[in-house]
Structure 1
Amino acid sequence: MLQALAYFATSSLSRRAAYASSGDEPGQDPTYTLTPLTWGVIGLVTLAFVPLFVQTLYTLASVYPTLAMVEDPTSAPYEAVPSDDNGATFAAADETGDAVVQGSKVPSPITASILRTHRYLRSVNGRWADFRGLLVAITRFVLVMIIITVVKLVPFVPMAMCNLIAQLAVVQFSTAWVHVVMDADPRSVSLRHSLTPFRRTFKATCLPVFFRWLASSIVGLLAMLLARMMHIDGHTDNFLYDLESFSHSMIWKKTIVSIVTLVGTFVVVVPTDVVLTRVQASLLPADAKTVVPFDRSFEGTVKPAVVDGLDYVSMLDAFRTFSRASWRRLLMLYVNVFLLTVVVEVAYIIILALTIVMTNKPSPAV
């Protein structure tokens, strides 16, 4: 949606600048070229925004939610809340993260806020802590693309099934990414050593992966059917990008589809993502130390393999042991991440649009 706004803003503002410079009527699109200066400034602006894009689209959208999904709030570090002269309280953490207020501890999960999570990770792992697991994520993405490309060569295999097959094929790497993100010192963990056995990993995660894929497919199909019912012509997977032909009614229709898709994602996709992540986390090696408090037993539901042969959490227990408070914390995290992402991308859009307007060179009308 934001990329669509970027396209609309830049194209619209560019045309307005061209109209003003060439004297053409608004109904007649003049021809214009982007000067080398314009391209150079666009490149510099984009390059300057790359770290922010990685921070929002990877760290905030993937790393922090994953930590929130696996953190056990009942054993989280604590913030001190000392009393002032008037008996009021205020937050102040000590070096260990533990403190006492009138003889009792006040809990505050690490993932209670974006800023707290950022500060904690940086204090533990340094300036690159926010980008933990990035190499594994890139490796997994490349493998998924390769597998999808190969499977697409098989006749009569729909694209959705290609994606499912690829996701099931890389369950080791998906699980390894979760483990690296959770690790107390991700820099000391190599990709080879973070891979759990494929058979065990597949057995534990194949159903969660399937339901995660199914949830995403349902939401995508719902958006497509709703778009067709509302007579949004030329609907494709990226129909939101076609903004030049927007009428007021079309804007409202596509806004409704976007809202339904967003709500469907939170209601249907996010719960399956929570279950999958927690099942993957239950496969963490016993000797691994985690950066956030983590209940390996999942409230006693995970038994040793010698007892019942299942040493990882089931889908039902992964969902049931995620408390209501944790759901609220995760929801607020997603809301804040969305708002920050909007701020970053809108800032990029505005700067890009102004760059094109100020440096654009109209060509003589033919």
Structure 2
Amino acid sequence: MTVLVELARRAVSHPQTSSFVKRAINGNGGRTPDYMDKVSIWSVVAIYATIFIAAIGISLFSYMLNQVVVTLCMVESPVAAITVTHETSNDKEDSNEKETLLEAGPTITLVNAKPITASIRATVRHLVAHAGRWSRFRGFKIHCFYSFLSGLATTFFSGALQGMPGSAVVGAAISAALLANVHAAWTHKVVAMPTDGLFWGRIPSKAHWKTLAVPAALKAVMPYVSMYLTAGVFMLLKLNKLGYEGHSIETCADKIGLIARVLAVIVFAITCTLFLCLPAMVTLVRIEASLLPEDQDTIVPFDRTFGGKVVSKIMGGTGVVGFLDAWRSFNWEARRRLIKLFTKNFFITIGMFVFVLHVVAIEAFVFMGEAAVLAMAGIPYLIITEQL
């Protein structure tokens, strides 16, 4: 973050900055309207700086919500708390019959504790209390490194397989499978308590690659499958033919039918996400979590036995959960909690974008005055003149 701030400071202080922004504004072959000449260069710089800072902030906040908190929710296994209630003296005096020693003993009650990840605020507080204030973004460097490698690998394989049907899907699957151990290292960084170990020490051994490759490939493929299925329903309902002869929307019945078809596509897309993408994500993360070394504790409660389906290496088992058991051990209560979390994250992200949009609009009206209104009104003019 310090590097970005320093680069931004040097860029703004550079003597050629004002002329560069001026060319960006007054380009377009000299056809830019005259009112843009009245706009202060530094007003535009301030607006662009706001957008730049907001983009960084939204990216970090989105990473915290959609990567860190979501991953912890997939791993957490709520623990049961045992409460012991002793009988009061008044209860003993009111008793007319002689009680046995067992009956007179304390009452033991088993209470299911509320999951930490049931609340975003509680999850963040838990992270800060156990791993410091920067734990909100734990694993961010590894995530950037993995995203960079994944982008390179996907681009390479998609280009190498160009012309082959489904080359993008195959390229994504191969890339995810090859980088499965790196993704597992990121998961371990997110779910484990802070340690002094290096990044390379977190990467699982090559022996575990076979365990991780298939779930990683499926997780990468499922979004494409969901998209293709949704596109198929889109075409099946003839939404791709709107505007063509015989498919115009004229009557009220046509409009109602169009709304119904659009809603059907949206519902189908959500269904694919819930029953295809979500299980693939949860399965991969839980298999990766099962590979966490037994000498490392998790930052949230985690059942390493997965409901008795996994036997630790100390007891002579493999210590790794199976592909199907990883999803089956994620009970319905946890699934509902995860879906609620995704819903909250979606609306929070939309709210952040709306807030930033309003801030930028206010800055535009404060710094640019009438030019902001004229610029917005002049957008269609610029589009038309570009086509001439």
- Give yes or no for TM over 0.5: yes
Partner of 2:155: 149
Partner of 1:173: 182
1:320 to 319, 325, 328: 328
Deviation at residue 232 of structure 1 after TM alignment:
3.7
> For the residues of structure 2 that align with 1:250 and 1:129, how far apart are their CA atoms?
47
Deviation at residue 104 of structure 1 after TM alignment:
6.5
Equivalent positions of 1:174-193 (< 5 A) are 174-185=183-194, 188-193=196-201
TM-score, scaled relative to structure 2: 0.68
Q: Deviations over 1:241-285 (max 9, x none)?
A: xxxxxx999898766644542342123211111111101111111
What amino acid maps onto 1:314 in structure 2? G
Partner of 1:212: 219
Q: Would you say the 8 A contact 1:71–1:292 is kept in 2?
A: yes
What amino acid maps onto 2:63 in structure 1? Y
Q: Deviations over 1:45-68 (max 9, x none)?
A: 224424541343211011111101
> For the residues of structure 2 that align with 1:272 and 1:218, how far apart are their CA atoms?
12
Partner of 1:43: 48
What is the aligned-residue identity percentage? 25
Equivalent positions of 1:1-366 (< 5 A) are 33=36, 35=39, 36-50=41-55, 52-74=57-79, 107-155=113-161, 156-157=163-164, 158-185=167-194, 188-200=196-208, 202-229=209-236, 230-232=238-240, 257-304=265-312, 310-356=318-364, 359=368, 360=371, 362=374
Q: Would you say the 8 A contact 1:72–1:293 is kept in 2?
A: yes
Q: Deviations over 1:325-358 (max 9, x none)?
A: 2112212211211121121111122333444456
Q: Deviations over 1:300-327 (max 9, x none)?
A: 2223458877431001111121122211
Structure 1 unaligned residues grouped into runs of 5+: 1-28, 80-100, 235-246
> For the residues of structure 1 that align with 2:33 and 2:260, how far apart are their CA atoms?
29
Deviation at residue 103 of structure 1 after TM alignment:
7.3
TM-score, scaled relative to structure 1: 0.71
Deviation at residue 69 of structure 1 after TM alignment:
0.8
Aligned residues: 302
> For the residues of structure 2 that align with 1:264 and 1:33, how far apart are their CA atoms?
47
> For the residues of structure 2 that align with 1:172 and 1:223, how far apart are their CA atoms?
31
What amino acid maps onto 1:189 in structure 2? G
> For the residues of structure 1 that align with 2:359 and 2:309, how far apart are their CA atoms?
52
What amino acid maps onto 1:276 in structure 2? L
> For the residues of structure 1 that align with 2:68 and 2:126, how far apart are their CA atoms?
13
What amino acid maps onto 1:61 in structure 2? N
> Computing the radius of gyration over CA atoms, which structure comes out larger, 1 or 2?
2
Q: Deviations over 1:121-143 (max 9, x none)?
A: 11111211110000110000010
Closer/same/farther in 2, CA of residues 78 and 227 from structure 1, 3 Å limit: farther
Q: Deviations over 1:146-204 (max 9, x none)?
A: 11222233243412211111111110111011100011116x3321111011331x211
Closer/same/farther in 2, CA of residues 215 and 152 from structure 1, 3 Å limit: closer
Closer/same/farther in 2, CA of residues 52 and 257 from structure 1, 3 Å limit: farther
Partner of 2:101: none
Q: Which has the higher contact order (CA 8 A, sep 6+)?
A: 1
Closer/same/farther in 2, CA of residues 286 and 214 from structure 1, 3 Å limit: same
**Secondary structure of the corresponding residue to residue 144 of structure 1:** helix
> For the residues of structure 1 that align with 2:225 and 2:321, how far apart are their CA atoms?
26
What amino acid maps onto 1:42 in structure 2? I
Q: Deviations over 1:2-58 (max 9, x none)?
A: xxxxxxxxxxxxxxxxxxxxxxxxxxx979759534532322322442454134321
> For the residues of structure 2 that align with 1:110 and 1:170, how far apart are their CA atoms?
30
Deviation at residue 111 of structure 1 after TM alignment:
0.8
Closer/same/farther in 2, CA of residues 66 and 265 from structure 1, 3 Å limit: same
Deviation at residue 71 of structure 1 after TM alignment:
0.8
Q: Would you say the 8 A contact 1:232–1:250 is kept in 2?
A: no
> For the residues of structure 2 that align with 1:142 and 1:345, how far apart are their CA atoms?
25
> For the residues of structure 2 that align with 1:289 and 1:60, how far apart are their CA atoms?
22
Deviation at residue 224 of structure 1 after TM alignment:
2.2
Q: Would you say the 8 A contact 1:67–1:182 is kept in 2?
A: yes
